Amino acid sequence: MAYMDWWIEPKHNRELQELTHKLVEQCNTQKRLTEEATNDLLKKTSDLTAKLNAYKLRLKSQPVPATQPTTGNDDSPSFGEYVGQRRYDAWLEYFADAEKYRLQLISCQSFVTKVWAQ
């Protein structure tokens, strides 16, 4: 923009520089807010993943009741426990996904509120 300064009146040049400065400040503020929101969401998602893994580990160390009737052969109790464990894992994954979506929604709402507050 400096190469065009020769034909812009000094008053307008000053106004353009002030406007440019304000826009750069707004951009930096929004960039900071975006980084804060992203880092916050990543931390919450990471914490949720750690909790999910801890629950899975805890469940694996506890006996799980068989969810399917045994067929009478020697492998049926362990198969029933395995199916029960898979169902618990599936439910945990489902609830974890729902919680991740909830965290994302809260994070987006917070971000929009902060941006529009400025």
Tell me the pLDDT tens digit for each residue of 25-80: 999 998 998 999 999 999 999 999 999 888 888 877 666 555 555 555 554 444 44
Unique residue bearing structure tokens 């965290």: 103
pLDDT for 114 beyond 50 = yes
Cα gap 105→38, rounded to integer Å: 12
Q: Are 48 and 61 in contact (CB under 8 A)?
A: no
**Range of lowest pLDDT (52-61, 88-97, 98-107, 108-117):** 52-61
Cα gap 53→21, rounded to integer Å: 48
Category of 65 on φ-ψ map: left (φ > 0), alpha (ψ -120 to 50) or beta: beta
